[in-house]
Each structure stands twice: as structure tokens, then as C-alpha cells.
Amino acid sequence: MCSEENMTIDEQRKYLGAMKRRYVRADRKTKTQLLNEMEAVTGKHRKSLIRMAKQLDAHSELNTTPELLEQLAEISMSSVQRRLRGMRRDRPRLPRRRPRGNPLTRDIPMLRLPWDIEHPGHFEADLVHHCGESSSGEYVCTVQIIDVATGWSDRRTILGRSQRLMGHAFRRILAHLPFPILQIHPDNGGEFFSNHLLRLWGGVVQGVKLSRSRPFHKNDNPRVEQKNATLVRAHLGDRRLDSVSHTIALHVRYDQMWVFYNLFQPVMH
């Protein structure tokens, strides 16, 4: 078995399960040779290998035949990875849509905001989906913005992603800002580039520059992506939230976080 690539946990368990039968039947000298081989393949210390083999045996996770064990001992790492990729996932992956052309974004430049912006008002924005394992139906979303220069952040909750709700969320954010918005920089999500929001930035709030990140390039929005993890997912996890009570509870929670993280926590640029 090739050891040029790191083995996953599942691959290690399958490999050690195949080696256990040989190890149990072997004499002292052969056991030493087998442990040396397993160390080289998995990159683990032999004491750790012995403990893992005993755990597999204790929990009766092995149900093999001599023919299968022989095949497992000879299979290559690339073959194992190829077969594992073909297996069904326990948690289905959400469908990833291809970027669709939006005529409203044709004149909006794609770029990445520089890290050394000196003046506040240049915001990265994103929408966090609280849909759990299924994106069907209506569910709660979090609109989050992060100022590049100061680290000032705000979050608002909406139930659904309609133009009206997105506009309402941004109006609430504007009411809490201590400085004017000069630039909004979201990803290419259609919820950020609707006729309603473009009227908001061009009419109600004038002088706002719009830009966007490249499709599937999260590094174009690194600050808000980081805060999606630390200020949203770390508090709420990945479970589905789809009720009015969830929305109201998060309104209260985000108001508390707005005070705590903006007024009482230091920010490292």
C-alpha cells in the first residue's frame, strides 16, 4: 500500500482491520515486522496502532473473510480513495449551483478589497444559510457585514431571502452604524443584486460603491467568511432554523452581540 498520501481515519480503520488477522496469527518476530509495516503506511506510532487494533476487536467492527483480508492487504491507497469516493455520504452534500448570469451585475466590478484600507465604511457582506441538510422551503438566514478598516460588524436575521426582507435587514444595519457606508462588497448571490437593493444603494443611500467577489472564491471575502464561522456558526451550529420564533430569538441575540463585539472586544487588524 502506498504511503505517499495521508490516510483518512476511515482508511486507517479499514487497513488496520485487514492487518489484525495477520497480526493475531503471527509469531513474535512476524508481529514486529507487521508493526513496522503498519507504522510506515499509516504514519502512526506502534503503541497507537496496537490500541486501535484492540478497539476494533472489542467493538466487533470486523466481519471479514480470509479472501477479503488478502485483497485488502494488497489494495493500493489510490484504489481505496477511489472506492470511498463512490460510496454514499451519511450527510448529503447540498447542491452547488453554477453561477447564473445576472444582468444587474454586468457593470459591478469583481475584485478583492485590500487589507490596508485606512478609512471606515468599506464593508464585506455575506448571507449565512441556516437550512440544515436541506435547502428546500423557507428558512432563516443571517445577513452579516464586516468593516475592513475597523472590524466593526453587524448581523441581522431574515426568514427567507426576498428583496423586501434583504432591504429591511440592511436598513436596520444602517440605523446602527456609527459611520457612513462607502462600499458594499458581497459575493455574487442574487439576493444582494436585486432591483430593490440597487434602488436602496442608488437612491435612499447615495454615494455607495458596489463591488463583488469572483464566483467560488471565498478568499475574495476573507473577513466576513471568518466571522461567519466565529460569530454565527460557532453560536448556532449547522442545524435548520425555519420558524418565526427562531427569527425573533436571533434578533435579540444579535443585538447583544452587536454591543459586546463592537464595544467591548478588541479587534486586531
* pLDDT, the chain, mean: 83
**Dist. CA 181–CA 147, nearest whole Å:** 9
Host H or E run for residue 13: helix 9-25
Q: What pLDDT does 88 receive?
A: 61
Given this model, what pLDDT does residue 3 score? Answer: 42
Rounded distance, CA 19 to CA 147, Å? 54
Residue range 197-209: mean pLDDT, rounded: 86
Q: Which of 53-62, 75-84, 134-143, 198-207 has the lowest mean pLDDT?
A: 53-62
Residue range 100-122, pLDDT digits in tens: 667 888 889 999 999 999 999 99
Helix axis angle, 9-25 relative to 28-42, nearest 10°? 170
pLDDT band for position 47 (cuts 50, 70, 90): low
Backbone angles phi, psi at 157, to 5 degrees: -105, 140
Q: How is the chain split into domains, by residue range?
A: 9-85, 109-263
pLDDT at residue 2, as a whole number:
42
CATH superfamily membership of 109-263: Ribonuclease H-like superfamily/Ribonuclease H (3.30.420.10)
Average pLDDT of 245-253? 94
| Closest listed residue to residue 20, CA positions, set 57, 63, 67, 70 | 57
The whole-number average pLDDT for the span 145-159 is 96
Split at pLDDT 50, 70, 90, the class of 87 is: low
**H or E, element range at 154:** strand 153-159
E strand spans, 2-84: none
Pairing mode of beta strands 209-210, 183-185: parallel
Amino acid sitting at position 100: R
Separation CA 133–CA 153 (nearest Å):
27
- Of 35-44, 130-139, 243-252, 260-269, which range is least confident? 35-44
Q: Cell triple for residue 76?
A: 493500493
